[in-house]
Amino acid sequence: MRHDDAPPRGDAPPLTQAPQGDAPPAVRPAALPNDISRMSAYCTYCPKMCRFSCPASAAESRETVTPWGMMRLLELTRDQSVAISPEVAETFYHCTGCRRCQAFCRHDNDVPRALWSAREQTAEAGLIPASLTPLRESFAAHSRPHADPVDWRPDPEVFDAESTVGFWPDCDTLTSNPTLIDRLGRLLHRLLGQKVRLIGTGPDHLPVCCGFPLGATGDRPALDHHLNERWPSLDGLTDLYTDCPALRAWADPGSSWPELSHGDPERLKPTHLVEVLADAVSQNPPPEKLDLSALLVHHSCMMTRQAPLAGPSLKLLRALGSGEPSAMMFDGVEAECCGGQAVYRALEPDAARRQATRVAEQLHDHPTATRQVSTAATCACALGEAREDLDITSLLELVCETYSL
C-alpha cells in the first residue's frame, strides 16, 4: 500500500456518555484478575512508601491521587464498600502510567496495569471523565489525540512508498515538530543506505496514532475499532521503526498493557529508532563530535520502565560525541515523570504543567549543563512548553542536528 493511500475505514463507534440525572445508578464492579486483586490488597495496607514517586501526587498535592489512594479506592470498589460514581471513576485517571512507583515498591506492584483495568470498568458504566471527550472526539475524526491542524505534508523525495522498511512517527512529533519526520527519513536513508516507507496515513493523509492514548481512556470498544479499522496496512514490510515510545512499550511483553495491542498476534512488532540508530551511529559517526558534558539527560518513562530502552538511548547519545552527559537528580529506572501523557494532560492541564516545570527546572538549577535532552518527543514537548526559556530538545532531534539534517 502506498503511504498516501488511506486504508479502508469503518464508522467510528459513538462515544460513551455518562448517565444522565442527579444520582447515577451504582455500578457493580466486575471481578478483577487475581494479580490486580493482590496488588490492590497490598497497596491498601502499605504505609505509602512510594508516595513521593508519583507525578500526580507531587503536582496535585492530595492524598487521593497517590498510588495508595487510587489503589485503596480500587479495593473499596472491589469489595463494594464504595460505589463507582463519577467522582470515584475520575480518580482512576490520575495515573500517568509512568510506573515510577513500581521502582520503589517492595511488592513490585504494577499500578498502571491495575488502574487501566479499573478504567475499562468505569468506561463500561459510561463514566469516562468529560474532560477527555475532546481527545476521544479527535480520535473519532482524525485517528489522533490532537485535533489541531498540522500544516505539513511529507517530502515526497524523502520516503519510498515501496520500501520494505516502515517508519511510523510519534503523534507528538507530528503535532509539535512535524518537519523532524522528514529529517529522520533523511537520517535513516543516510545511515541505513535505503529510504523508508512513511506509514500510518489517516483521513487527512497524515500519520495516525497507534491508539495508546485511546486505550488509556478505558474505552475498549473505541480502541478495538481503532486497532481493527484505523491501523495502517503493514503489508510488505520486513521492519517497522518508530519514534513513539508508547507504541514500542505497548508491544513489549514486559509493559503494563501488552495484551491491549495484541489483537493480531502476527502483527509486525515495532523497533524504536534508538535501537536502530545506536549501532548505526557507532558505525558511521557524525563529522564533528558533540560535547556531551553540556547535556542533562531526562529518561522517558515509556523508554525506561515500560520498555527497556534506557541502555540503547545512552549508547546512541554517547556515539554522538565525547565526554559524559550529566544525570538528573533521579536517573535511569528512578527517573521522574514529566506528566506529559496525553490523558493526564487533558484531565489536569495545570497540574501536568507544574510537574513538567519541576522536571525542566533541574536544567535551570544545574551548575554546568546548558541543554536538556529527553529520550522521547512527548517529554521534550511537555518540558519545552513548561519552560520555553530553556534549551530543551529530544534525543532524535539532537541526532539530526549533529548530522546537520
Q: Can you spell out the DSSP letters for 182-251? A: HHHHHHHHHHHSS--EE--B-TTSSBPP-SHHHHHTT-HHHHHHIIIIISPP-TT-SEEEES-HHHHHHT
Cβ within 8 Å of residue 61, ≥6 positions away: none
372: alpha, beta or left? (left if phi > 0; alpha if psi -120 to 50): beta
Q: What amino acid is encoded at 18 in this protein?
A: A
Cβ within 8 Å of residue 227, ≥6 positions away: 211, 261, 263
Contact (CB, 8 A) for 333 and 310:
yes
Rg from Cα positions in the chain: 21
pLDDT along the chain (405 residues), means of 10: 37 50 48 77 86 94 94 90 92 96 93 94 95 96 89 93 95 94 97 92 82 96 91 91 94 87 70 96 92 96 94 96 93 94 96 97 96 96 96 97 95
Alpha-carbon span 272 to 316, nearest angstrom: 12
| pTM, two decimal places | 0.89
Cβ within 8 Å of residue 311, ≥6 positions away: none
The residue with cell 485511546 is 214
Query: Residue 291 is inside which H or E element, if any?
Result: strand 290-291
- pLDDT confidence of residue 24: 47
Alpha-carbon span 405 to 388, nearest angstrom: 23
Contact (CB, 8 A) for 77 and 117:
no
Domains of the chain: 34-130 (no CATH), 136-274 (no CATH), 287-402 (3.40.50)
Query: Residue 174 is inside which H or E element, if any?
Result: helix 171-176
Taking 3-state DSSP, the helix, strand and coil percentages for the chain, each rounded to the nearest 5, stand at 50, 10, 45
**Taking Cα atoms as reference points, which of 200, 150, 138 lies closest to residue 176?**
150
Pairing mode of beta strands 392-394, 371-374: parallel
Cβ within 8 Å of residue 31, ≥6 positions away: none
- pLDDT confidence of residue 48: 83
- pLDDT confidence of residue 245: 94
Contact (CB, 8 A) for 346 and 217:
no
- pLDDT confidence of residue 148: 85
Alpha-carbon span 118 to 123, nearest angstrom: 9
Alpha-carbon span 302 to 255, nearest angstrom: 9
Alpha-carbon span 36 to 117, nearest angstrom: 9
The residue with cell 521534550 is 380
